[in-house]
A and B are shown apart, each in its own frame.
Chain A
């Protein structure tokens, strides 16, 4: 006769409520784990999306995700000539805020040459960029449907396709546009600024005609050179050694070549490291809190059965039977709580504002931890149960 099953059946409502409580606690643990993983995945998705082997960036910088990197966009022609390089293409990044209806949507603009490296790995709805200007492929997370026209500065873009799960290291959705659009967005001055600059030049020339020889320079600064990119993406031949080619490119002045792994490390270790550590610490604290709460629940459940356990001892139940009652209930509570928590997080993780990556491996590890917590908690309960004096069940005095 399984006493644990009968006890649970008898107090089913309360047991389920307690398990739900434990489950909610575990949801918080799972969510923190998912946010932790999501943060890493988000950070890496934007680096991995282009499928590049090398990133050529401005010298002495860590690339566009960590700091400002500006290089000429035609550098890709030179890079492409290096033996072992199969493809090379410029890419530009910029954070902008799109106005969509009444909402502002933070977006990471990625400018690339359509048909070349740097575009979205897959378009889940609609189509990739086809025209060379004013088209945009957005991540679904932005919540902007295909066909929407979005004004940005001097340009108006039309959303032609949607991607899935490609976001910036801060979790903002990405928007792919042509390199030329991205360059103008990033490097070209706004009309008002150009008019202001012209007016100032005019005033300077009128006040001091000798400055006329500076007009060429000034005009250049007004019109701006937009032929810049933030990095050159490089895809190598299968036989090529990335480190060797990176070393060769770095021999040129003004450039640094980073492998994708190095770029990932920059993001994971430098850009999101503190946030990552903070979440990890919070996750550990949550696990400790869960351990204490589960142990308290099991201990309280045991204390409530003091008289029943004393009676069981008097009618001759062995310690194994009493221990099994407590351990099985504890494991049942943990299992039910875990299942509830896993179900809830799997149903809700998509609604979190940032990516919550629920990995089967993490779930499995957490399951093992929950079982270990339940076993430990039940050992405390069993210790208490075995210490119960059987005379507790008997009335009368001396």
Chain B
């Protein structure tokens, strides 16, 4: 049972002469608890693949299944993409993308409240996770006053709080120094394994790929090796 499966996924931007093929017949299958890295130069299609898998920007053709459910059949999205993301996905951004007007704890609890969990329970569960991630002392702080490493750890907490089947991370260490980057990557791997989630990390930093189960390489919209 694959947590994430992509078959013949193609993404084409534009039409006619200005047409750009960003993904070409991409195949991907990742099991629950598996931690994979997606590497490649800029413009190779890594982020496009993440957008396609999360249905933020669905592919042009191909099929995508998440948590063993077909969500894109080659023509149309078969589910409420936002519901899918808030219930079964966790997404981590290069620039952290914490909501600036929510405290770090509220940023994490927000995902639970979006899933219908009461504010009180969401805050309690987020607090417990913060303590486990050693972020308890930063709970009431707004993101703007956190360091980059702390912001990304909060972002990781936000991505895992709803026990997702899939965690997608887009260059999560790009804005961090090596030490903080590795700490975030370790955290991501540990949480992915303990929560039995498939983790796909887009990175182009060779130093960060230690401990991944598989590393995919992408060039010109194709996965060339793993």
Q: What is A's interface to B at a CB cutoff of 8 Å?
A: 1, 3, 6-7, 9-11, 307-308, 311-318, 321, 390-391, 393-398
Contacts and interface: CB of A to CB of B under 8 A. Distances in A.
Interface in B171-209: 171, 174, 202
A317 B114 contact: yes
Nearest to A397: B43
A18 to B, nearest CB: 15
A366 B90 CA distance: 46
B20 A307 contact: no
A396 B101 contact: no
B94 interface: yes
Nearest to A310: B97
B32 to A, nearest CB: 20
B93 A398 contact: no
A398 to B, nearest CB: 4
B94 A10 contact: no
Nearest to A10: B101
Sorted nearest first, the 8 A-B pairs with minimum C-beta distance are A316-B86, A396-B47, A10-B101, A395-B94, A316-B85, A398-B22, A7-B101, A311-B97
B170 A1 contact: no
Interface residues of B, number: 45
Contacts of B174: 395
15 contacts: A1-B106, A1-B113, A3-B101, A9-B101, A10-B102, A311-B93, A311-B99, A315-B110, A394-B56, A395-B94, A395-B170, A396-B171, A396-B202, A397-B43, A398-B43
A315 B81 CA distance: 10
B91 interface: yes
B91 to A, nearest CB: 6
Nearest to B11: A398
A363 to B, nearest CB: 32
Given A396-B94, A397-B47, A314 B101 contact: no
Contacts of B85: 314-316
Nearest to A309: B99
A97 to B, nearest CB: 61
Interface in B90-137: 91, 93-95, 97, 99-102, 106, 109-111, 113-114, 119, 122
Contacts of A321: 114
A10 B103 CA distance: 9
Contacts of B97: 307, 311, 314, 393
B46 interface: yes
B29 to A, nearest CB: 23
Contacts of B109: 1
B226 interface: no
Interface string B1-33: 000000000000100000010100000000000
Nearest to A313: B82
A315 B56 contact: no
Contacts of A313: 56, 82
B110 A1 contact: yes
Contacts of B87: 316
B101 A6 contact: yes
B98 to A, nearest CB: 8
Given A6-B101, A398-B20, A390 B86 contact: no
B193 to A, nearest CB: 23
A394 B48 CA distance: 10
B48 to A, nearest CB: 5
Nearest to B86: A316
Contact of B45 (A9, A317, A393, A398): A398
Contact of A394 (B89, B93, B101): B93
A396 B45 CA distance: 9
Contacts of B202: 396
Given A10-B101, A10-B102, A398-B43, 10 more contacts: A3-B102, A10-B142, A311-B93, A315-B86, A316-B114, A321-B114, A394-B47, A395-B171, A396-B42, A398-B13
Given A10-B142, A316-B86, A316-B87, A390 B48 contact: no
A287 to B, nearest CB: 31
A308 B101 CA distance: 9
B47 to A, nearest CB: 3
Contacts of B57: 391
B201 to A, nearest CB: 13
Given A1-B119, A316-B111, A394 B100 contact: no
